[in-house]
Amino acid sequence: MKINNALQNQKGSALIEVLAAMGILLFAIIGMMISISYANYKSTLNYHYRVALLRAEAELQVIKLQHSSYGTFGNLGTQEFTIRSHSNAKPIKATIFFDVLTVNDPQTTLKTSYTKITARVRWQETPPMFSLYVSPNDYKEVVVREDYFYERVQ
């Protein structure tokens, strides 16, 4: 009886029902577009992190060579380089900074000191397409560190 009634129903849909259905569909489509944009952003960011990490590691390797050959850490001045995701992508300017800090910590040991060499790669990322707020100081950073231990002169 119910089925028969439903088949005979000639009422159709009201404008508000159609608009609501369209709204739900639009919401789903926008959600999917945002997720694609975000996944793309994360993939590119991941690539930039890897490039920066390899660059920082490379610099630490050169410092290690300098140290084992001459006993110095060589040139630790700030350097600039370019990160490019792919051949058509806009190049991103990255900067690598070095910090040198010698630690004499009597609480740890009286005989050993060490020098901390820190390489810090910093760059500014292009924000994802649908981001609501973009901070001008939103820098990404990769930090790697190597310690050089030596006997402290008493």
Partner 1 sequence: MINNQKGFTLTELIAGVALTTLLFAGFIMFLLQFYGNFKEIAEYNTLQHELLETIEALRYGYVKQGVNDNESIIGLLTANNVNIASNNKSVTITPIVVKAGERHWASYSLSAKGEIILNAVYGIKNINGEVIFPKSKEVIDKNLKYKITEFQIRNISPFISDKISLVSIVIEGQVRFRPKQSGQNKVEDERLNTKSARFETKVYISNYDN
Q: What is the CA radius of gyration of the chain?
A: 29
> Could you give the C-alpha distances from 53 to 11, 57, 143, in angstroms and in order?
65, 6, 8
DSSP state of 129: T
State the Cα–Cα distance between residues 96 and 55, nearest whole angstrom: 9
88 touches partner 1 (CB under 8 A): yes
State the Cα–Cα distance between residues 91 and 87, nearest whole angstrom: 9
Pick the closer one to partner 1 by CB: 89 or 110.
Answer: 89
Smallest gap from Cβ 89 to partner 1, in A, equals 10
Pick the closer one to partner 1 by CB: 40 or 102.
Answer: 40
Query: Could you say which of 18, 20, 30, 58 contacts partner 1 (CB under 8 A)?
Result: 58
Chain residues in the site for partner 1 (CB under 8 A)? 5, 8-11, 25, 29, 32, 36, 39-40, 43, 46-47, 50-51, 54-55, 57-59, 61-62, 64-65, 68-69, 84-88
